[in-house]
């Protein structure tokens, strides 16, 4: 092999030797340069590409160090044996030269996972971080309590009592890196021989977490008031996972009568528990926030889960769990087996954010921001009341649109796709087969700007005008 035709780009952010190295590596991975093929000498290739010989030397040295080629004394560079050991797939071998992120095929994505980062208090967060790191607190780099920082747990305890009506003391609170971690810890406290009842439809990640923990998981249908306790009574379940303050994805708020039924179910047998996932209770747009189910529990049967993912940011990965006293005793007996999964610096940041009043001000601001987006969507779809109905609009960062114009869910989703708008069909959140024949989509508005929401819903209004369907 006397030459390699490589289209070098002097304007690229990548250095020339990197471009040579990546080209040769990719050709070897794809089998276009084969085992034992001889590469051009560094002198010949440098002359052919009109680059310095040291540039080619650097590229070859990198390929040698990674084992793609080998240098044979007095003979040159040869390709090493890779064929038959592992088959590289062309689809996963990326040409960095052409790697600007692929443009999304959607202009608007009503994602259910995002939050509004444009209104995140960056300056305050940076100031708090700077102040924490300037202080001489070397202990923050040591492992802390497996439960989490005492100061943070105390602040969470106060917040939960004032905002959610949760009755607890800080020793009951466990801080962890996300609900999936906390559910794993909880499974060790509850034991393996349990049957979990879960709402259907539901938050699929929780369902999969329980399945991965080898629990038997039963699905319980919902009515307008939430999980149907009469169905629950007929099962062998001893643990129920529910979202009473704002059920995902249906947005149902469980009324007090159904909450009391659920607590009564839990009290009928020793060892029964209700796991209350209070994932986005901070954002309610009609009336006052609904108190947590845990606040009505006088028999220590409710395990409360909360998170800062929606109220602050998903990336901080900080959630918390309030354990009933019996499970707390089990945890404390095994506490030496656990370590904190959240950095003490991050925990201190959140404590200061709460303690200095920034958290409450941030929530107040974000409620106004989200309500404005929420209202734009609701008002636009109300104009189309002859073809669709808005549901679950009183709280949270998403709402449902149920179409009554006879179109199937697939037809509705395709119509949005053709308009470069991504929406999320309700059917994908069911574990069992969807029981409602109406086409229903979910629209998350957290991550879209207000202008994007306005443009998107105006476009949707045009798409579904009676003149076009």
CA 84 vs. chain centroid, Å, equals 39
Question: Comparing C-alpha atoms, which of 120, 111, 1, 19 is closest to residue 62?
Answer: 19
CA dihedral 7, 8, 11, 12 (to 10 degrees): 100
pLDDT of residue 100: 45
Identify the pLDDT of residue 91: 53
Asked if residue 192 lies in contact with residue 235, where contact means CB atoms within 8 angstroms, the answer is no
Q: Report pLDDT for 5.
A: 78
Whole-number Å distance between alpha carbons of 107 and 119 = 21
Q: What is the C-alpha to C-alpha distance for residues 412 and 394, in angstroms, rounded to an integer?
A: 24
The pLDDT of residue 435: 63
- Domains annotated for the chain, with CATH where assigned, are 16-98 (1.10.10.10), 108-117+361-463 (3.90.1150.10), 122-360 (3.40.640.10)
Determine the angle formed by the axes of helices 122-134 and 344-355, rounding to 10 degrees.
120
pLDDT of residue 2: 59
For 353-371, the pLDDT digits (tens) are 999 999 999 999 999 999 9
Residues 175 and 148 sit within 8 Å (Cβ to Cβ): yes
Q: In whole angstroms, what is the distance from residue 45 CA to residue 17 CA?
A: 12
Tokens of 417: 């796709």
Looking at residue 117, its pLDDT comes to 85
Residues 73, 184: Cα–Cα separation, whole Å? 56
Beta bridge partners of 240: 197, 274
CA distance 102 to 99: 8
Q: How far apart are CA 412 and CA 453, in angstroms?
A: 19
CA torsion, points 74, 79, 85, 91, in degrees to nearest 10? 160
Owner of token pair 């793609």: 68
Q: How far is CA 210 from CA 186, 207, 253, in A?
A: 11, 5, 24
Residue 268's closest CA among 240, 292, 295, 290? Answer: 240
Phi–psi pair at 47, nearest 5 degrees: -65, -40
Q: What is the pTM of this model?
A: 0.77
Positions of the chain with pLDDT under 50:
92, 95-103, 468
**Cα four-point dihedral sign 190, 193, 195, 198:** positive
Pairing mode, if any, of strands 195-200 and 173-176?
unpaired
Distances in whole angstroms, Cα of residue 443 to Cα of each of 120, 267, 303, 453? 22, 37, 29, 10
**Which helix (H) or strand (E) covers residue 176, if one does?**
strand 173-176
Instruction: Give the pLDDT of residue 27.
Output: 87
Query: Strands 439-444, 424-425: parallel, antiparallel or unpaired by DSSP?
Result: antiparallel
């Amino acid at each position: 092999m006397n030459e390699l035709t490589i289209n070098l780009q002097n304007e690229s952010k990548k250095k020339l030797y990197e471009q040579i190295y990546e080209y040769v590596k990719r050709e070897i991975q794809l089998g276009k340069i084969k085992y034992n093929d001889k590469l051009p000498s560094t002198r010949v290739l440098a002359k052919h590409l009109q680059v310095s010989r040291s540039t080619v030397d650097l590229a070859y040295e990198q390929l040698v160090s990674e084992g793609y080629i080998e240098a044979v004394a007095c003979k040159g560079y040869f390709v090493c044996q890779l064929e038959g050991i592992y088959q590289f797939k062309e689809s996963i071998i990326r040409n960095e030269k052409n790697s600007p992120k692929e443009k999304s095929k959607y202009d608007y994505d009503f994602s259910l996972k995002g939050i509004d980062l444009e209104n995140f208090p960056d300056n305050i967060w940076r100031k708090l971080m700077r102040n924490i790191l300037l202080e001489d607190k070397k202990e923050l780099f040591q492992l802390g309590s497996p439960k989490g920082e005492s100061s943070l747990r105390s602040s969470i305890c106060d917040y939960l009592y004032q905002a959610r009506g949760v009755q607890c003391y800080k020793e009951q609170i466990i801080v962890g890196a996300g609900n999936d971690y906390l559910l794993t810890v909880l499974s060790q406290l509850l034991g393996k021989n349990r049957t979990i009842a879960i709402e259907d439809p539901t938050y699929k990640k929780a369902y999969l977490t329980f399945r991965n923990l080898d629990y038997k998981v039963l699905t319980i249908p919902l009515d307008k008031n939430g999980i149907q306790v009469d169905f629950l009574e007929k099962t062998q379940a001893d643990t129920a996972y529910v979202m009473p303050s704002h059920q995902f994805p249906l947005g149902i708020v469980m009324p007090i009568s159904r909450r009391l039924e659920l607590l009564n179910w839990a009290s009928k047998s020793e060892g029964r528990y209700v796991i209350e996932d209070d994932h986005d209770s901070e954002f309610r747009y009609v009336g006052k926030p609904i108190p947590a189910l845990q606040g009505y529990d006088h028999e220590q049967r409710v395990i409360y889960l909360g998170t800062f993912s929606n109220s602050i940011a998903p990336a901080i990965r900080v959630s918390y769990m309030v354990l009933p006293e019996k499970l707390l005793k089990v945890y404390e007996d095994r506490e030496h087996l656990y370590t904190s999964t959240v950095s003490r610096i991050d925990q201190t940041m959140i404590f200061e954010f709460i303690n200095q009043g920034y958290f409450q001000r941030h929530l107040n601001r974000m409620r106004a921001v989200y309500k404005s987006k929420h209202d734009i969507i609701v008002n636009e779809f109300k104009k189309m009341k002859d073809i669709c109905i808005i549901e679950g609009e009183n709280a949270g960062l998403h709402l449902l649109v149920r179409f009554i114009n006879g179109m199937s869910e697939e037809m509705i989703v395709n119509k949005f796709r053709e308009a470069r708008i991504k929406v999320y069909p309700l059917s994908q959140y069911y574990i069992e087969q969807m029981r409602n024949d109406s086409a229903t989509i979910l629209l998350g508005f957290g991550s879209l700007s207000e202008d994007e929401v306005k443009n998107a819903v105006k476009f949707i209004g045009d798409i579904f005008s009676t003149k076009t369907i």
